[in-house]
Chains A and B, each alone.
Chain A
Amino acid sequence: MTVTDDRPAAVLGSRLLRREDPALLTGEAKYTNDLHIPGALHLAVARSPYAHARIISVDLSAALAAPGVVAAYAGGDLTSLWAAPMPCAWPVTADMKNPAHYPIAVAKAAYVGDGVACVLATSEAAARDAIELIDVQYEPMAAVVDLEDALSDRVVIHDELGTNKSYTWDLKIEGHDGAIDEAFAAATYTVSERYVQQRLLPMAMEPRAVAAVPQPFGGDITLYSSTQVPHILKIMSAITLGIPEHQLRVTTPTVGGGFGSKLNVYAEELLCLALARKHKVPVRWNEERGENAVATTHGRGQIQHMELAADETGKFTAVRVRILGDMGAYLQLVTPGVPLLGAFLYAGVYDIPLYDFSCTSVFTTLTPTDAYRGAGRPEATYAIERAVDSLADKMGIDPMELRKRNFIQKEQFPYTAMTGLTYDSGDHLAAAEKAAGLADYEGVRARQKTHNVPGATTRIGIGQASYFEMCGLAPSRVLASLNYSAGGWEAATVRVLPTNKIQVVTGTAPHGQGHETSWSMIVADKMGVAPEDVDVLHSDTAIAPLGLDTYGSRSLPIGGVAIAMACDKVIDKAKKIAAHQLEANEDDLEFAGGAFSVKGSPDRSMPLAAIAFEAFTAHNLPDGLEPNLEAHVSYDPPNFSWPFGTHICTVEVDTETGRVHVLQYVAVDDCGNQVNPMIVDGQVHGGVIQGLAQALFEEAVYDTEGNLKNASLAEYLVPAASDVPSLTLGHTITPSPTNQLGVKGIGEAGTIGAAPAVINAIVDALSGLGVTDMVMPASPNNVWKAIQAATRNTPSNGASK
């Protein structure tokens, strides 16, 4: 089959406007809490005000007597509804400790926000009013907030486990153990740093919302949920509730962002399902923002001990990493696996022969952590990129130069790393040089010499981060080796209707990414039709029964490629029909512009439209060929996809107030071929600002009692437009050789590059004052304190850098 590019204008690679937008812009789009569901009861959850407390008694009588209340339950009243505890799908080691976790706690609350009782009422207001009337007697216990304190087992949170340690996972590479010690002993330069990845609140703008609607007969039930993972949710809900899976339909109306926080199976989803079945009426729940802050999973939460060794030329020789991970109170869907997603990336984009990684994860009396944009990979990139800057500082050379000496070279791809993973393609030098050009790297260096003088009240800094992202999760066999309980394939069906309109069914579950637009472009390109003639169906397990959903920048490199492969299968079948009808040999046919023609005889041709109708009527098909033009593909990728790039941030730091002003932010990202560059840019914009927000603004702040002190959007600093800069984007294009579209993921790249680029810039600005590191977030207070600490230690401060 030959597909030529003689169509009027190439669809693939164009900045096609999104088909999703008109409904979103006019308010016609329906999110879960917009659904009108007659007769629905409203669920409200009473939540523990204590981080750690035994539940002595739960008195529901006043709540039950309140107007509109239909039922109220403590945890013990619901145990017969659960066939299994809430799921954790990633038992990373055979001996991983995983406490039983139920939608409503039975004996003990283990974090502020843990559900301890619930109410069903005829209105949301009545349900929320009633939970205030529930009288829970607690025996408060000591909170465990600090990770190192947790590891000491001073206070054991889950009695049945006997320890707060969940697991230790090692990436041991044969022969590296002793060799690493030798490499560090022999190194001319070493860096040994401790970095803290603070806890973050994902804060998707749409809080979670759920509605479970029983069907009138036979026990079928439909779950509407604001989730990224309708397919995983269906399977896990069926297991947890003991519902036959085929009687459960999960569908997502429009979903207002996720960032990993909707990649889960939540208590409220299970409660709505179980109580709707029990009461035989629809049950719905809308999350308030204050609940979202404590009852939706958090991100990051790691202490990293990062060591890097280099010889006298600055050539990196070894990396050693020790992670202490904060699981929170329970293991949610993929909580324990998040550090593993970064485990392979602490060598960054560099050619480093020796590698040693170990992660120990502990329980705390805090909200469970789980995936958050980048999940493990921003943490890894931060550590190596900060360490590289520290090493450059020790050597007294420019960090850009040090990076160039250590980049994996373009010619080395595909590059098999010491971890055993193969990086598909890359050109780090090109990305770095492009970014340096856009950022006027040398110009900023020159300005620093005149600007950062003794006594200056502002100092300029420039920081770089070069990253590799392991995305497109993932080859199923690799996931098996990491003990992940599911595969990494994606499903697609392409169906040509009798009138030549095309339906695509995908297992991806978009929540703002614009998949309907992008997938229509892939099909339009393949099939020679207009994108508007392609309908994309998704996020409803009754329509798209197979799929593994949207997370980990997997949708395009797996789901999109699956669609392209399904198009190929449809074209193959169409070719058989065309050959039959044109009385030609299949090998003599070519497909272009939506029609088959006989090579050398362009007048003998048959458009796809005619073939689709022939396939539908089935009046004259080749012997043995089934009617209809439809194909299904389940695609398991041969490798992850490996987007990469360089981000460069330029800042001005006010040394008197500690305020950081971002002067310029340059992001050069390479995600291979771009289906829709407008959407790619949008993903980078949003990702960069989320990473920059970790660097400058955001942190879940807990007191020693385990109370989240900034559990609202009034106090938790999601940046506003006035807090952040416009961005300068560039791209290089290095196609992935592992899939036919040459694509890689882009959803998380911006977040991965941003935090280290920003912090490197701040440290660079202040290095002349003796500042060598900066905690995140680099708030004015934290920056000012770092300056004070450094200048106290360095009397002769202010030398120009």
Chain B
Amino acid sequence: MKISVTVNGTVHESDVEPRTLLVHYVRETLGLTGTNIGCDTSSCGACSLHLDGEAVKSCTVLAVQADGAEITTIEGLAVDGVLHPMQEAFRQNHGLQCGYCTPGMVMAATSLLKENPHPTEAEVRIGLEGNLCRCTGYHNIVKSVLACAAGE
């Protein structure tokens, strides 16, 4: 099926199999491998990206469903080599270790702050419960998101 999607500001016209998941389309057709795959049950959130401005798990969306949509992946977050404030907050607060959950976590966190610009610690924890991390114990991820919200 023919689809047209805008990914990180660039329009892509593609012919995809109907069963292709958005995450596979982004990774394999567009070569944007920053979006990671960590599970097969939509549990881990490693594949989170922005679909029309909202964080979604791209393993739960078919590529054909994204026809006409605007998508931002982790590769589209930094501008001209300058990290997005959320990326910078993760860096400053050691909010990542192995980095595998990080793109999804950052995309989910930016979406969280868009909905709730000044969350409490508990709200950050609940807001990120769809994204799993095995390295950090979440302590510094939560700290990063709170720091970003505070403009630090």
Contacts and interface: CB of A to CB of B under 8 A. Distances in A.
Interface centre among B35, B90, B99, B103 (most CB of A within 10 A): B99
Nearest to B89: A25
Given A20-B99, A22-B91, 10 more contacts: A25-B74, A33-B37, A205-B46, A289-B38, A685-B140, A712-B41, A714-B39, A720-B129, A720-B131, A721-B133
8 contacts: A23-B99, A24-B99, A27-B35, A206-B36, A290-B41, A713-B38, A713-B43, A721-B128
Contact of B132 (A17, A259, A687, A713): A713
Interface of A: 17-18, 20-31, 33-34, 36, 203-207, 254-257, 259, 288-290, 511-514, 678-679, 681-682, 685-690, 712-714, 718, 720-724, 726-727, 750
Interface string B102-146: 110010000000000000010011101111111111111110000
Contacts of B69: none
Going nearest first, the 10 A-B pairs with the smallest beta carbon separation are A27-B34, A512-B98, A24-B99, A256-B100, A689-B137, A34-B33, A713-B43, A27-B74, A685-B137, A289-B39
A26 B100 contact: no
Contacts of B94: 17-18, 678-679, 681-682
Interface string B60-72: 0000000000000
B45 to A, nearest CB: 9
A297 to B, nearest CB: 15
A623 to B, nearest CB: 50
Given A205-B46, A288-B40, A712-B40, A28 B34 contact: yes
Contacts of A722: 125-126, 128-129
B52 interface: no
A265 to B, nearest CB: 21
Contact of A690 (B32, B35, B83, B137): B137
A21 B121 contact: no
A688 B139 CA distance: 11
Nearest to B78: A26
Interface string B84-102: 0001001110101111111
Interface string B30-59: 011111111111111010000000000000
Contacts of B13: none
B34 A682 contact: no
Contacts of A686: 97, 134-137
A26 B74 contact: yes
Contacts of A29: 34, 99
Contacts of B36: 31, 205-206, 256
A73 to B, nearest CB: 24
Interface in B18-38: 27, 31-38
B41 A713 contact: yes
A17 B92 contact: yes
A207 B37 CA distance: 8
B103 A721 contact: no
Contacts of B7: none
B72 to A, nearest CB: 11
B148 interface: no
B142 A721 contact: yes
B77 interface: yes
Contacts of B140: 681-682, 685
A721 B34 contact: no
Given A21-B91, A27-B74, A513-B97, A203 B41 contact: no
B75 interface: yes
A685 B135 CA distance: 8
A34 B46 CA distance: 14
Nearest to B35: A27
Interface of B: 27, 31-44, 46, 73-75, 77-78, 83, 87, 90-92, 94, 96-103, 106, 121, 124-126, 128-142
Interface centre among A18, A34, A513, A720 (most CB of B within 10 A): A720
A290 B40 contact: yes
Chain B interface secondary structure, helix, strand, loop or mixed? loop
A24 B136 contact: no
Contacts, number: 176
Nearest to B99: A24
A713 B83 contact: no
A290 B44 CA distance: 13
Contacts of B121: 726
A113 B126 CA distance: 34
Contacts of A289: 38-41, 44
A28 B32 CA distance: 9
B98 A204 contact: yes
B100 A31 contact: yes
Contact of A688 (B37, B137, B142): B137
Contact of B83 (A25, A33, A207): A25
Contacts of B129: 720-723
Contacts of A290: 40-41
A695 B104 CA distance: 27
A618 B114 CA distance: 61
A629 B32 CA distance: 41
Contacts of A721: 124-126, 128-129, 131, 133, 138, 141-142
Nearest to A716: B43
Contact of B134 (A27, A718, A723): A718
Contact of A682 (B31, B46, B136): B136
Nearest to A720: B129
Nearest to B27: A34
B138 A724 contact: yes
A207 B103 CA distance: 16
Nearest to A256: B100
Contacts of B27: 34
Contacts of B106: 25
A205 B136 contact: no
Contacts of B33: 27, 30-31, 34
A702 B138 CA distance: 29
A289 B138 CA distance: 21
Contacts of A22: 83, 91
A20 B97 CA distance: 9
B137 A27 contact: no
A119 to B, nearest CB: 18
B109 to A, nearest CB: 10
Nearest to A17: B91
A256 B96 CA distance: 11
A23 B121 CA distance: 27
A33 B39 CA distance: 14
A739 to B, nearest CB: 24
